[in-house]
Chain A
Amino acid sequence: MKYIKIILAIGAGIILSSFAQAQTLNWANLTKDDRHIINLNLGYDYAASFGAAYGYQLKAPVPIVLDAQFSMPAGENLFDDFKSKAGAQVRIFEWKSFCFSAEAQGIFRRYENPYARLLNFGSEFSGTIGYYRPSWFVAGQAGFDKAIVTHFKNSELYEDNYPGEQNGWYQPATGGNFFYGLQGGYSLRQISFYLKAGQVIEQDFKSSPMIPFYAQLGVNWKL
């Protein structure tokens, strides 16, 4: 029952905010009148991957951008693996050109190989602090990505090896990774280019993913 609630909460969160997304923003370049932000990106996110995102800035006393993104790894079977995120980022604090912002996102992701298909609901929380000027910025980011609940469906090929396997939703949380790194960008009036990169480490603080880093090159276009 506990997991039904978690699934419902995350699912509802994703649906309600699926028109929004977390992008790497230059807060000093974002005016109150900017509403729509389109993003395209590529890089390494547990695999060579590429994605797109859409952001919508709310009319609010502090800058709040709702966002939604979709990414998938490269490979012959494009849609067998993907990650979708939806959430919001808020500029919480500003002093001179320094800003601190926080992001919270719900995640739905899928993985499939010839042995198994995994569906996962998760969440990602991060904070970013940096120095922002209208034409450029540099910042540091740290966060945590939690794989909260995962559905395992093993293939016939896997069942040939182990007929007794059990398909279904598994608990407790099947995974979690911390990430931290740097980001920087160059902004024109409507377009910003950015690069971010950093380290990924598993929640036990001992192990690392096979690709122990993330990197993303992206472009934001304000409509």
Chain B
Amino acid sequence: MKTTKLLFPALILWLMASGCQKELLINDDGNLVPKTVEQDSTLPSISVNGTLLHAESFGNPDSPMLVILHGGPGSDYRYLLNCKQFAENGYYVVFYDQRGSGLSKREPKESYAIQTMFDDLQQVIAHYRTSPEQKIILLGHSWGAMLATAYINEHPAEITGAILCEPGGFMWQDIIDYVNRTRSFSAFSETLNDATYPDQFITGNENEQAVLDYKYSLLAYADGAADSPLGNEGVLPFWRYGAIVNGALFDLGQKEQPDWTTHLSQYTTKVLFCYSERNEAYGLAHAQKVSSAYPNVDLELIKDAGHDMITFPDGWNNFFPLAIDYLNSL
């Protein structure tokens, strides 16, 4: 009884002390997720297609341009910064966080269209291009490789070459099949429960993007977990995961069931298509199926790597020489 009497005031004191801390607003800029280029003018940015994108370039602007397209949708280019090395090898490397992703400006959910993502890419290229003769090469990872392919399907004459790393698919059903395989966690696993349990702590409507971005970032650990089929060595570095753009593009995909292969037969340039040794959700069969949409493909296995082959040292060391050889062949 004596212990109970002591416990109660102790708990009250603890609650009061905790309560006296400064209360933070969950949707204030910079509290839980970084400020975007709209909120922090010191970040490098470009204004294109009616939005503000976080973007940087490295290398000689007159060299062949290599545009890096990150995955997600909703991730950012931080995990692809190894690609700066291409700038030391004679390429003008352009990074940008796609609309609503990373440190780029947030946009309302209803403003998204898949075509807008293609238009953004077109305007990013136009922004950095220094001459009409400049070669333009796309390097896309995961969703970024799907975006690259969709763009090539729409503008086959504009793109000099493409490096594609484990795109989920170029047709909606392939994408869904792949995504489902990547989420094959045991119902009783810590990883799955870590992803689903926060739903009772944090909800938010579409106008409360900061808290939704934070919640989405908590899920990012799953891709680096030991029981993830993706086979990564660890978790990816990131600035901000864009929950709204991810949800919006996924919803649009469900609705529109896109097929980005309809004009790929016109693209006879060789494409470098990479898949990883450890991603159990991908594998040779899926790589062959997806890459077969291109008439001229160099299909390469990246050993000692998982899905994020560009990020981690072993994958990068095996990927980079292949990529440089391909780029120099164009």
**B30 to A, closest residue via Cβ:** A164
- Residue numbers in B under 8 Å from A203 (CB-CB): 203
Those of B210-265 within 8 Å (CB) of chain A = 211, 217-218, 220-221, 235, 237-240
Give bound CA distance, A193 to B77, whole Å.
Answer: 53
> A residues bordering B, Cβ < 8 Å?
1, 3-4, 7-8, 11-12, 15, 46-48, 73-77, 81, 83, 109, 111, 113-116, 118, 120, 122, 145, 147, 150-152, 154, 157-158, 160-162, 164-166, 168-172, 174-177, 202-204, 206-207, 209-211
Q: A74-B188, A74-B193 are in contact. Are A164 and B34 (CB under 8 A)?
A: yes
- Residue numbers in A under 8 Å from B23 (CB-CB): 3, 168-171
Cβ-neighbour of B202 out of A3, A8, A174 (below 8 A): A174
> Are B33 and A109 interface neighbours, CB within 8 A?
no
**A12 to B, closest residue via Cβ:** B12
**B20 to A, closest residue via Cβ:** A4
Interface 1/0 per residue, B182-225 and A, CB below 8 Å: 00000111111111111111111110000100000110110000
> Are A113 and B22 interface neighbours, CB within 8 A?
no
16 A-B contact pairs sorted by A residue (CB < 8 Å): A1-B19, A4-B16, A7-B19, A76-B189, A109-B200, A118-B202, A120-B201, A165-B33, A168-B24, A169-B18, A169-B21, A171-B24, A177-B199, A207-B203, A209-B200, A210-B199
- Residue numbers in A under 8 Å from B6 (CB-CB): none
- Residue numbers in B under 8 Å from A73 (CB-CB): 193, 197
Task: Describe A's contact surface by its main secondary structure.
Answer: mixed
> Are B235 and A114 interface neighbours, CB within 8 A?
yes
Closest Cβ–Cβ distance, residue A82 to chain B (whole Å): 10
> Are A4 and B19 interface neighbours, CB within 8 A?
yes
Q: A160-B237, A164-B34, A211-B196 are in contact. Are A150 and B201 (CB under 8 A)?
A: yes
Closest Cβ–Cβ distance, residue A123 to chain B (whole Å): 12
> Are B239 and A151 interface neighbours, CB within 8 A?
no
> B residues bordering A, Cβ < 8 Å?
8, 11-12, 15-16, 18-26, 30-34, 187-206, 211, 217-218, 220-221, 235, 237-240
Pairs A-B, 4 closest by C-beta atoms: A4-B19, A75-B190, A209-B199, A74-B188
Give bound CA distance, A202 to B206, whole Å.
Answer: 12
A8-B12, A176-B203, A211-B196 are known contacts; what are 4 more A-B pairs with Cβ within 8 Å?
Answer: A47-B196, A73-B193, A74-B189, A177-B203
Cβ-neighbour of A162 out of B34, B191, B196 (below 8 A): B34
> Are A204 and B201 interface neighbours, CB within 8 A?
no
- Residue numbers in A under 8 Å from B217 (CB-CB): 115, 158, 161
Closest Cβ–Cβ distance, residue B293 to chain A (whole Å): 31
> Are A46 and B200 interface neighbours, CB within 8 A?
yes
Count of A-B contacts judged by CB separation below 8 Å:
158
> Are A162 and B21 interface neighbours, CB within 8 A?
no
Closest Cβ–Cβ distance, residue B131 to chain A (whole Å): 38
Closest Cβ–Cβ distance, residue B22 to chain A (whole Å): 6
Give bound CA distance, A76 to B15, whole Å.
Answer: 30
Q: A115-B218, A175-B201, A177-B200 are in contact. Are A81 and B193 (CB under 8 A)?
A: yes
Give bound CA distance, A116 to B11, whole Å.
Answer: 23
Give bound CA distance, A30 to B206, whole Å.
Answer: 45
**A45 to B, closest residue via Cβ:** B200
Give bound CA distance, A111 to B196, whole Å.
Answer: 11
> Are B199 and A211 interface neighbours, CB within 8 A?
yes
Cβ-neighbour of B239 out of A75, A111, A116, A161 (below 8 A): A161
Give bound CA distance, A186 to B197, whole Å.
Answer: 30
Closest Cβ–Cβ distance, residue A143 to chain B (whole Å): 13
> Are B200 and A210 interface neighbours, CB within 8 A?
no
Give bound CA distance, A102 to B15, whole Å.
Answer: 29
> Are A157 and B18 interface neighbours, CB within 8 A?
no
Give bound CA distance, A47 to B188, whole Å.
Answer: 8
Give bound CA distance, A152 to B211, whole Å.
Answer: 12
Cβ-neighbour of B193 out of A11, A75, A164, A165 (below 8 A): A75
Closest Cβ–Cβ distance, residue B110 to chain A (whole Å): 12
> Are A15 and B11 interface neighbours, CB within 8 A?
yes
Give bound CA distance, A109 to B26, whole Å.
Answer: 19
Give bound CA distance, A66 to B189, whole Å.
Answer: 33
> Are B190 and A77 interface neighbours, CB within 8 A?
yes
- Residue numbers in B under 8 Å from A83 (CB-CB): 200
- Residue numbers in A under 8 Å from B21 (CB-CB): 168-169
